[in-house]
Amino acid sequence: MQPAISFVNVSRYFGEVKAVDDISLDIMDGEFFTLLGPSGSGKTTSLRMVAGFERPSKGEIYLHGVNLSQLPPYERAVNTVFQDYALFPHMSVAENISYGLMIRKVPKAERMQRVEEMLALVRLPNLGGRKPSQLSGGQRQRVALARALILRPPVLLLDEPLGALDLKLRQQMQIELKTIQQQVGITFVYVTHDQEEALTMSDRLAVFNQGKIEQVGTPAEIYERPGTAFVAGFVGISNLISGSAAEAIAGSSESFAVRPEKIHLAGDGASVPDGMLSADGRVRQVIYLGMYTRYTVELDLGGELTVVHQNLETTSMDVLAARGKRVRLMWNRLHVRPIGD
Amino acid sequence: MQALRKASLSQRISNFLFLRPRLFLALLLLPPVLWLGVVYLGSMLTLLVQSFFYLDGFTGQVVREFTMRTYGELFTPANLDIISRTAGMAAAVTLAAVLLAFPLAYYTTMHATRRTKAVLYLSVTLPLWSSYLVRVYSWKLILAKEGIISWFFTQTSLSWVLEGLLRLPGVGGPSLSISPIGMFLVFLYVWLPYMVLPIQAALERVPGSLLEASEDLGANALKTFRHITLPLAFPGVVAGSIFTFSLTLGDFIVPTVLGNSSFFIGQAVLSHQGTSGNVPLAAALTTVPMAIMALYLIVARKLGAFEAL
């Protein structure tokens, strides 16, 4: 199958800075694909090169086999949802949404009908006459989405569209975006620095770091089998053990990662069952988070491990009393993920 | 308590006013309200009252009786001529100023680096630092028959172009320094900064992402300009045109220095209230630019110029 978007050895330099450094990536048709990474990792620049706001310094980008590199933004069959929404303040909601159709000289009757459809899709019926300034953040976000979707692009680009929303609304919009994507069946390329958001929404994701792609995979692959120390640290809590501590615990000096929810917290000197690895230490910090508790344990061998426990039976009194106590940490060999350097 | 007892006088005044925000605002606003209300609006009102008196032609005295006949005099062919000449010049200057200022402001805000921006900003405002009269008289020399512009046309064997321009009825004259064309150039020069700065301020407030969004939705540069940039910058254009238009309407120095015998409103006002002592007619003439500006603002508002504010 032909990919929807292909990056072929794409680089983008700003002076001396390699914002994007020789990336190659295929994004398939109908995928919800996320570019995940910290700020300055090149994910937004990569998205902007697909939109046409930036040109690659080297390499080519293809949309369904068509080389985009020489096309201006207004001739590319992709549309963008901007981080700040970029709604036109002098136009009503309906005028904003129908802007692309107006530019393409679609007859007014059809324009109005399609605007109504889009307003229904993003669940904002009857708001067409308002000005953007009269809408809430969440509503503006939906208008921006409707405006980009009305042209029925094969690929929709979203640049941290939920960044400005509060947590509750963000979680709600994550589900909604995913639903809308499945409903319209087009490829979404989504940029975010929020790893939880990336895991929630994506079919696949690429983890960016310093202009390069560290790893591409499904959320489960990325989370459970991080390929590099950076991915292990950026997606989820790192818990990286290396050097002599790694050798003493696992019998090999190769660094490894273990996810915090895989670790059992047992009393000092508890017996270690077969197939389990263990490490002793002292609880340095306890953070009670309602649904679960996060412990930071200082290992005797050096280094720290974070352990997360659901508060199934325990109360805040119990968990907070654990601070300063000696504990034995145990986890199944299967959950050890070796990390190449 | 220690702190309170030790409070200095200024500290105590601050505390006193902090607890009485209304009093503080009143004190703050007193000077500008006095200035605007009494000196500014007051004198304008006096002017307006004057315009409803009339000059007795026999005695040469101003008759202090309410009448509309002074306003009637505005509609004599001679005065209509002055008004239309002045308004035409103001409109031409404003239009040309928009055409020159917009690209400059656009480049400055959208493309220039910080350094270039500072240099451009300085070069636009620099002429305002020197005396207006000096600049107008410098232009008189530049535009004179022996001046650099004539010299340039002669050197390039293009004198016939200049002569052709000066022969044009209505705008020509014996030389550029005594012609409506020359006046237009000088007006354009002296008022241009007042057009550049407001447009620049308006464009400064247009986020770059709006232009990207427009391109993203299929609009090329021209359509983006027409549908996004221009409407959003329009309040700046209107603000700038208020300056250039009203400054041209009221000016009497440029027409005096560079004009021929045909009067502009400013000159007419000057001569009516000076030599001929016809203060009522001078006052009535002064209300003409105000009326034109009011009309202009109403039309601009109807066109939606301020909706993006």
Return the half-sphere exposure (C-beta side, CA atoms, 13 A cut-off) of residue B73.
Answer: 21
Using an 8 Å CB-CB cutoff, list chain B residues near A147: 213, 217
**How many inter-chain contacts (A to B, CB under 8 Å) are there?**
67
Mean pLDDT over all residues of chain A? 91
Q: Tens digit of pLDDT for each residue in A26-74?
A: 999 999 999 999 999 999 999 999 999 999 999 999 999 999 988 999 9
Of B209, B218, B307, the CB nearest to A86: B209
| Span B271-300, pLDDT tens digits | 888 777 888 999 999 899 889 989 988 988
Give the pLDDT score at A11. 96
pLDDT band at A254 (very low <50, low <70, confident <90, very high): confident
The predicted pLDDT at position A224 comes to 87
Closest CA to A79 of B215, B180, B201: B215
Higher pLDDT, A341 or B115: B115
Chain A residues touching residue B237 (CB < 8 angstroms) = none
Instruction: Identify the structural domains of chain B with CATH numbers, from first to last.
Output: 69-128+192-302 (1.10.3720.10)
Which residues in chain B are closer than 8 Å to A148, comparing Cβ atoms? 216-217
Chain A residues with beta carbon closer than 8 angstroms to that of B216? 51-53, 73-74, 78-80, 148
Categorize the per-residue pLDDT at B5 as very low, low, confident or very high, splitting at 50, 70 and 90. Answer: low
Nearest-angstrom CA–CA distance, A331 and B264: 94
| Substitution target from B113, B203, B214, B217 for chain A, most A beta carbons within 10 A | B217
* DSSP 3-state percent helix, strand, coil across chain B (nearest 5): 75, 0, 25
pLDDT of residue B308: 55
Q: Which residue has the tokens 């319209």?
A: A184
Average pLDDT over residues B167-191: 90
Nearest CA distance, A275 vs chain B (angstrom) = 56
Cβ within 8 Å, pair A86-B219: no
Query: What percent of chain B has pLDDT above 70?
Result: 96
Q: What is the mean pLDDT of residues A214-229?
A: 92
Tens digit of each residue's pLDDT (9 = 90 or more) over A76-134: 999 999 999 999 999 999 999 999 999 999 999 999 999 999 999 998 888 999 999 99
Q: With a cut of 60, say whether residue A337 has pLDDT above it.
A: yes
Which residue of chain B has the CA closest to A80?
B216
Question: What integer is the mean pLDDT of B187-214?
Answer: 94
CB contact under 8 A, A51 and B212: yes
Contact A84 B207 (CB under 8 A): yes
Q: How confident is the model at residue A341 (pLDDT cuts 50, 70, 90)?
A: low
Q: Do B307 and A90 touch (CB under 8 A)?
A: yes
Give the H/E segment covering residue B240: helix B230-250
Rounded to whole angstroms, the Cα distance separating B118 from B113 reads 9
pLDDT reported for residue A186: 92
When pLDDT is cut at 50, 70 and 90, the band that residue A246 belongs to is: confident
Nearest-Cα residue of chain B relative to residue A133: B308
- How far is the alpha carbon of A36 from chain B, nearest alpha carbon, in Å? 22
Q: Chain B: nearest CA to A87, how far in angstroms?
A: 7
Which residue among B209, B218, B308 places its CB closest to the CB of A103? B218
Which residues in chain A touch residue B307, judged by CB atoms under 8 angstroms apart?
A: 90
The pTM (predicted TM-score) of the whole model is 0.81
ipTM reported for the complex, 2 dp:
0.85
**Whether the predicted pLDDT of B3 surpasses 80:** no
Q: At residue B60, does pLDDT exceed 70?
A: yes
Q: Of A82, A90, A100, which is closest to B209 when you measure between CB atoms? A: A82
Sheet holding A58-63, edge to edge: A17-27, A5-14, A58-63, A66-67
* B80-103 pLDDT per residue, tens: 999 999 999 999 999 999 999 999
Vertex B222: Cα angle to B216 and B224 (nearest 5): 40
